[in-house]
Structure 1
Amino acid sequence: MTQERIILGFLLLLITACNKIENNSPKFYERIMGQNSWGYRDDKGNAIIPLGKYKFLNLIDEKGMIYANKGSKYGYIDIHEKIVVPFEYDALTVFSEELACVKKDNKYGFVDRKGKIIILIQFEDETFFRKNGLALVKKNSLYGFIDKKGKEVIPIVYQNANQVILDSLVTVKKQGKWAFFDSFGKQKTDFIYDEIASTSFNYKDTFWKNGLILVRKNKQIGYLDKNLKEIIPFGKYETGDRFNSNRIAIVSKNHKYGIIDEFGKEVVKTEYDTIEHPEESYHESEIFAAKKNNYLVLLDKNGKKIYDKIKDFSFDYCRLNKKIEKIYHVQDLNGKYGAIDTKGKLIIPIIYEEFQDFGSNDNAIVKYKGRFGLIDSNNKTTYPIENKAIYADRRELDYYVIKNKDNKYGIINKNLTPIFYFDFEDLSPCFYDIKNRFIAKKNGKYGVIDRLGGIIIPFQYSKMSNWVEYGPGKNYHFVTKDNKEGLITKEGKNVIPPIYDHLFYHNDKMIILSKDKKYGVVTIQNEQVIPFVYEKIYIEFGFFGDNKEAEFYVLKNGKYSIVNNKNEIIKSNISTQEVEDKFSYYN
């Protein structure tokens, strides 16, 4: 019953902008959301149901009714706020087969579209009617099925029960065993099954519309057809999966895996060590990856071999025949990379030491004989394969950063036109504005330039950080100048001038600095917290601040103590060994 609730909940929460109500004068109404309330307005912007009255209003359904939440109760209204189902229920569902399940005093029943109770409130769990005319109900901790008049079609006497969206068959459990019944309450099998599996077909559950029904009996699996006839005998296979939407299933025999169709034919012989659906874009792919000995074999969604004897593979998309098509990167047993289309045709020869994704773009970065360049989906070289390195953000491709054979950096855009010529010793996009700002190095010094080459921060630093998550944020750079450290804004303004021997950032209120062999603490506004009188200062490192008072371990005149952020001694005579053990990661 859990999956059905999820589906109904999804339907309930769908958010669409407008509804059209058919009557003598068709009108459009727009659902609007305020602060913890919902309402409706007409196509002229007039409030029809004002905000502030209902915690939630669903879309107007096909009969002009609106599921509504008012205070702690639920009901149905129409667009003119006429109450159709009274607000006296703790919960209710959308209408299914013209009945809605309602909850009151922790029991469930059904009402019709006039708000009349059709089936008494008596059940222990939320439910709803399927197209087969039955609802799965629970009463006195037992399960059964009722029709739309409340009559018990299958008595409420069973340990458990299950129904699916697409099929008329239902299953019930008694004394630890399952049996099939039809929607008229007729028992179709004995109670002999340890498990009966349902599967998903177009986001709807089914027992048999994918091909065959997977069942388990006496610790052995078998498969039944829709007439519950045994098609694949129990014990023929050690393990088996549910049939998928292509009407095939993975099975194993003698610890070897293959694939069968709905007639029991092995479309892939049981000869592989494993067969599985690989992960593709956070979901299970339709294709199969079969492992045998030390190599993989790719099989299409029907079990037909796509490509044989590879070490690894991955999914990608590129432009083929003027359309964006799926391809597979493949790595051979020698570690070289290439690509095939979904039918197994080789489109990129397997010759590259590295092969980055096209990611639906026109070009991909490759490495060949130790050098980097760009190729298109026809394996045509679009940028010479002669460079030391190439970087691009494939998720949002805008340019390529290139380190050429002379160790100089430049940038070309995604159309392969130069943005910066090879005038720089280092070049990387600023994390806070990766499209328009770059940390660059020239004549041994770092600065920041914009996309047009304009200098934002002059080339005067021997080191310059990019933004990091545990640093002071996107508006700053740590810098080193003349062997001194400081902190500047992204516009180049000194926050903490580069005059310090050492800078350790803890958070905006506690930056440890040293100068002339003395340590102190300042804020990010360069306001002094701890004076520069100590030989060492430590603070326990953490990414997240807390509300307790900061404690600094300080060394003065060869002795350690703990002070607060007012430089008041909290504890003295701390042993050197304790401090060195506690802050060993500083060194």
Structure 2
Amino acid sequence: MILNKENMRNKKVILILCLLVLVSGSVQAQRLKAVQNEKGRYGFMTEDGTVVIKYKYDEATPFKDGIAKIGKDGKYSLINEDGEIITKRKYTYIGEFYNGVCPVAEGGNTKKGVMLTTGGLIGNKASSNTGEKWGLIDKTGKEILKTDYEAMGDLNKKLIYVLKGKKFGFIDSAGNIIVKPTYNFIGSFNNQGICWVNIGGKYDKKNNMVSKGKFGLINENGREIIPAKYEDVGNFPVLRDKKTGALLDEAAFYTKADQSAFPATKQEIQSLLLPKPHAAESQLPSSRVDYFYFINKKSQGLVDIHGNTIIPLTANQAILPPSDNMLRLAKVEKKQIAKAYYDLDAEVMVRISSSEKGKFGAFSHNLAPVSLDDELYFIDKKGNKVIGGLSKAFLSNEGYRVVQKGSAFGAIDSTGAVVISIEYTNSLTSVNNGRLGVQKNASWFYVDMKGQIVSDKYDRIGNFHQGYASVCLNKLWGAIDLQNRVVVPLEWQGVAPIVDPKLIWVKKDNLYYLYDGVQKSVRLKQGFANASNFDNEMAYVMSDGKWGIIDPDGKVLVPCLFEKEEDMVLAKQYMLAEDKKNLTEVEALRVIARFDPDTNMFKITSVIPDKHWDY
């Protein structure tokens, strides 16, 4: 075959093109990294050292998802791994991408290429930004929200606040305007997805509080569930006793002398109707009920989470937190305080006595306690008296309530029916796992909710917990299960509450040993001065006055070197977060030094222990 010059030329061109494609593909197949030359300029090169993007930038970040940030003379842009600039170099700030978008800013004060900005803090703090304008771009560099805003919130929220002309509005993560800038102040969204807003309010800089103006509530879809036209708005927070953990809208127990769940005077009601300031940027408290109140001119109303009116504005009427879906209403009338319950399920008002001497409690498991005319009794949700003549009633649990008549104890269910005969000389204070511990004469035992005796008799007993209970006979402790089977023989000084029958802490000679209730044998021969139940295969233990962590086989995960049990909580949290199986002494000391400020605090005249200098 004879090749002419034209054919030869064409084949050379094709060969060169093929080589270029191969070289280009080889370069692109390699990851680029930002590098700095001797003059302090940044560029990008491949892993084999080939410079792909020249050294001409003051700043450069590593590529992430195919995009890197470059900066020169205080202005930033983005490039891709082909070296193509995908945004104009006009931004004084470019943030991190979140769900495909990132915040950008133009203008504002800079110093040596560093943006002097608050990042757009919410509420009153927005005024402290430095003149920049904020917007959003996507990964193609397209501005999906123009840089027109003085401040912008975090992108990891369903709604993102923006500030324009000293007014707040909201956008979604795609840059769509959901709520036009309308509000002078806003809070933050709480666990219910609700946020307070304010128009025309005043900011108290000293106390960081917003007051006056008109308050309202919006949800995470941008819908006003309460329009911003009221003196105050709010919800009903979860309030618990710091010591017992019991909900404060229901006392730990009721007697004839207990306080009512209703305000008793006109002054108490009026104090509940006074508008209260909101801490700037604050969330409404966490709540377990999706109802919200609004106040105007000593009147109060209620809406549900969808904005439906439940109770219209009513003058001189206070709404108290619902319990068991029963609101409590107290209204100032001519010469008395009118009291009522409102059934949120049946949408029915249940009026009760207005007697000043009457004390009415919150509902729990369909019943509410009433102390009236020197009698303690319970009413149902229709206001009917279901059981009376009581002297004491304890907290409801599992739908049952321990009650006392005179000197005798028993239990009722959520209808007020007696399920355990009121005949025992003493009892534990609550039903647990369908069992109640009761005493007759000198012996303690358990009965079920049919009133049947379901255990042997003992000198002392504890509440059932996760199917197990500790029991004592002749000063020796053990444990039984719900079938009255002995899980731990009665031969110990004490038994800790049981969570896992294979991992039970028992006490002998003032030391705790790990006992296996399935194998009926001591699992660890080493005793500890103190110990906690296992969680995530870890238990805190104390030896020689110092705390550490072990696993169920007794393997030391954190050495017993620490003064405080709280330090073990920090160590455990760190191990779980970092997926570490154990910590050496050095690692543990570093974790505690990092997360426990008290560990690093010494008096000015103190000698710092040598071990602290390394951590």
TM-score (norm 2): 0.43
Structure (1 or 2) with the greater strand fraction: 1
